[in-house]
């Protein structure tokens, strides 16, 4: 019986198409794998093929971790004592090739902005516009570029981050730190007037349900 190692030795990866050449009975089961589970039942006829399928569609987290370090250096030019925390599929390492982005919480230092200085969540988009202008002015070179793709700014900032010709999407979620040490940002939820609630969560816990409060 063919081992997993034998199958792995027959893998060819070209661009974003993942071709598997498997000898004998397995060769007709997989011809091309893209970053989707659409035809999973056709590709995965046994445990070995399922394993290879999973390995091929997973994103290269070593590369994205390096991109995080570079992006952190860019942000550090303009901000002191900030923190970037991976979130979403980037944090859980469940993202797929060509679909993953750098999904990050951007913890802003209190010396830059304090939540108690904002009158309401309506001020938050104005703060994001200011942050976007700061980051977008970063000097780049041929190897590293960053481009803002923000249109309607409400709760997050979006960028295309290019590292040596490879484009990486960045989704940045700025959060403020309250005087009690809570993370503060606008919620998805709105009150009866259409204004967003402030969302408060513990800095050290991502699984605790946030508390919702109206703005002052």
Q: Does residue 46 register a pLDDT over 90?
A: no
Torsion of CA 105, 97, 34, 24, to 10 degrees: -140
pTM for the full predicted model: 0.70
d(CA 159, CA 164): 16
Query: Is residue 70 located within the same domain as residue 26?
Result: no
Query: Is residue 116 located within the same domain as residue 79?
Result: yes
For 157-195, how does the pLDDT look when each residue is reduced to its tens digit (9 = 90+)? 999 888 878 888 899 999 999 998 899 999 888 888 888
For 129-147, how does the pLDDT look when each residue is reduced to its tens digit (9 = 90+)? 999 999 988 766 667 788 8
Contact 26, 48 (CB under 8 A): yes
* Total number of domains in the chain: 2
Query: Is residue 93 located within the same domain as residue 189?
Result: yes
Query: Is residue 65 located within the same domain as residue 35?
Result: no
Domain range holding 40? 4-57
Query: Is residue 166 located within the same domain as residue 91?
Result: yes
pLDDT at 58: 83
Query: Is residue 83 located within the same domain as residue 124?
Result: yes
Enumerate residues 6+ apart whose C-beta is below 8 A from 33: 17, 18, 19, 20, 43, 53, 56, 57
Query: Is residue 150 located within the same domain as residue 189?
Result: yes
């Amino acid at each position: 019986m063919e081992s997993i190692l034998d199958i792995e030795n027959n893998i060819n990866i070209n661009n974003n198409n993942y071709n598997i050449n498997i000898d004998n009975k397995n060769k007709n089961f997989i011809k091309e794998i893209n970053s989707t589970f659409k035809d999973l039942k056709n590709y995965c006829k046994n445990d070995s093929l399922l394993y290879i399928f999973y390995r091929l569609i997973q994103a290269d987290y070593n590369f994205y971790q390096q991109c995080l370090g570079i992006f952190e250096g860019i942000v550090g030019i303009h901000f002191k004592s900030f923190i970037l925390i991976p979130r979403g599929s980037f944090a859980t390492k469940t993202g797929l090739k060509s679909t993953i982005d750098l999904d990050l919480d951007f913890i802003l230092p209190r010396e830059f902005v304090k939540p108690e200085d904002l009158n309401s969540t309506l001020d938050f988009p104005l703060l994001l516009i200011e942050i976007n202008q700061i980051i977008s002015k970063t000097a780049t070179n041929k190897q590293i570029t960053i481009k803002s793709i923000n249109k309607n700014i409400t709760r997050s900032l979006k960028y295309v981050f290019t590292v040596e010709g490879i484009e990486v999407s960045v989704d940045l979620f700025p959060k403020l730190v309250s005087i009690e040490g809570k993370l503060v940002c606008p919620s998805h939820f709105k009150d009866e007037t259409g204004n967003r609630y402030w969302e408060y969560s513990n800095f050290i816990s991502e699984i605790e349900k946030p508390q919702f409060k109206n703005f002052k």
